[in-house]
Amino acid sequence: MGVSAKEYVEKVIEKVKAKNPGEKEFVQAVEEVLTSLTPFIAENPQYIQQNILERIVEPERQIIFRVPWEDDNGNIQVNRGFRVEFNGVIGPYKGGLRFHPSVALDSMKFLAFEQTFKNSLTGLPIGGGKGGSDFNSTDKSDREIKRFCESFMTELYRHIGPDKDVPAGDIGVSGREIGYLFGHYRRIKGAYENGVLTGKNQNYGGSKIRPEATGYGVTYFIQEMLKDMGESIEGKTVAISGYGNVAWGAAKKMAELGAKVVTISGSKGYVYDPDGIKGKKVDYMLEVRGNKDVSLKDFAEKFNLEYFEGKKPWERKVDIVVPCAIQNEILLEDAQKIVKNGVKIVCEGANMPCSAEAIELFEKHGIGFGAAKAANAGGVAVSALEMSQNSLRYQWSEEEVDSKLHDIMKDIYKKSKEMSVQYNVSLAKGANIAGFKKVADTMLMQGNY
Ligand code: GLU
């Protein structure tokens, strides 16, 4: 008792560092969220009395498992599988599966922690989780991917279920992988529980607009930010990174609204298109993503565009920057370039693409900053709508889903903004407070949870 909010937050951060040695990304995410909660905690001593922070930073459950599979040459390969069930207080654990060489317990924990507050912000009944494997799907054959997915599900199936834990896609996991995972789950369970996974094909319960949802949602969120600045998205130039699902959805919606997306990128370089990526070019992004023999360089050649090897798109002078690739892709030196280029808005499409130093610099220079857990919540929001449709055994039209998504994004912006005004903090911190409040209050309601 008698400890101040600041002291309490610092004490919990120190404990997290001591208890999770070497988990840099998890500590980065925890530090960012907890620090931003200080003014809110100061007004609400019940969170200190009930030690909510120390409870909320500890995952409810962490599952780590072996994934052996046979490659096309008959060799047995072994990967590591994860599912972190972080917080299930407002609904079944919900969050994607990531197949990428960088996957380790650290990244799974940071993603599941962030997901908890993101899912809370959607206003829908979903808890937070994340999973995946250090499996690199980009150089594997279709048969290898299928065998890997089957082996992965052979262990995962016992931990998930429509009322328990509902995975979806993320980096390296899209409709194809979800199909193989669901097919195997169905065979093991001997029942048709299609609410166990989201991001499914529409033939077996997938929602319309789900593939587009994250990118559309980011765009709707940017529109709200612009409205507050008295501006519109039409005619704005945009630098996007990545070429996957989020980048694709954002490029598609932005082109439709009259913005000009001048870059997309991969880990080895970026493409610059002064005319703006639209129409056939947006469609061809799916080819780069889904076909291991087509690269971003091929994209540039096909459309006669310049490709900048070894460079990031942040050197371009644009109005809006939307990082849609991976965590920590905008570090301090990138942020300095962005500031110098007179960018108005940086909005996160990927999860935690900006480092803490980068965000601080944007805020110092008055650049509008949209944080991932608010801005990219559209994907998981439509996943939750997919769960609703599966429960109803029904499918909503494209217009219905898109208008629900639009409303959800406006609501997330409104909640974040209100908290930022009330506590005199940035929009990103306002989002943390709004996301945290619902989870923390529900934990209190449910007792010694
Ligand atoms: N992987 C996405 C995210 O980071 C979507 C998760 C989901 O649909 O469950 O939010």
List the chain pLDDT tens, one digit each, 449 residues.
579 999 999 999 999 999 999 999 999 999 999 999 999 999 999 999 999 999 999 999 999 999 999 999 999 999 999 999 999 999 999 999 999 999 999 999 999 999 999 999 999 999 999 999 999 998 999 999 999 999 999 999 999 999 999 999 999 999 999 999 999 999 999 999 999 999 999 999 999 999 999 999 999 999 999 999 999 999 999 999 999 999 999 999 999 999 999 999 999 999 999 999 999 999 999 999 988 889 999 999 999 999 999 999 999 999 999 999 999 999 999 999 999 999 999 999 999 999 999 999 999 999 999 999 999 999 999 999 999 999 999 999 999 999 999 999 999 999 999 999 999 999 999 999 999 999 999 999 999 76
- Going by CA atoms, what residue is nearest to atom 8 of ligand 1? 380
Q: Are residues 190 and 224 in the same domain?
A: no
Rounded to whole angstroms, the Cα distance separating 331 from 325 reads 13
- Going by CA atoms, what residue is nearest to atom 9 of ligand 1? 95
Domains contained in the chain, number: 2
Q: Are residues 182 and 232 in the same domain?
A: no
Domain boundary among the residues 199, 228, 253 is at 199
Q: Are residues 187 and 230 in the same domain?
A: no
Does 214 belong to an annotated binding site? yes
Confirm whether 217 is domain-assigned: yes
Q: Are residues 183 and 318 in the same domain?
A: no
Q: Burial of 73 by CB count in 10 Å (0-12 exposed, 13-18 middle, 19+ buried)?
A: exposed
**Residues noted as catalytic:** 130
Q: Are residues 187 and 286 in the same domain?
A: no
Residue type, 170: D
Distance 98 CA to ligand 1 centre (A): 10
Confirm whether 437 is domain-assigned: no
Ligand 1 pocket residue status of 416, Cβ below 6 Å = no
Q: Are residues 244 and 290 in the same domain?
A: yes
Confirm whether 405 is domain-assigned: no
**Sheet hosting strand 127-133, strand order edge to edge:** 61-70, 76-87, 127-133, 93-99, 165-168
Which ligand 1 atom sits closest to the C-alpha of 111? 4
Confirm whether 206 is domain-assigned: no
Q: Are residues 183 and 267 in the same domain?
A: no
Of the residues 115, 116, 209, 405, which should be mutated to test ligand 1's pocket, given the most ligand atoms within 8 Å of the CB? 115
Confirm whether 2 is domain-assigned: no
Q: Are residues 86 and 231 in the same domain?
A: no
Q: Are residues 231 and 294 in the same domain?
A: yes
Radius of gyration of the chain (CA): 21
Ligand 1 pocket residue status of 207, Cβ below 6 Å = no
* Containing structural domain, residue 119: 64-199
Confirm whether 12 is domain-assigned: no
- Verdict on whether the full-model pTM lies above 0.75: yes
Does 245 belong to an annotated binding site? yes
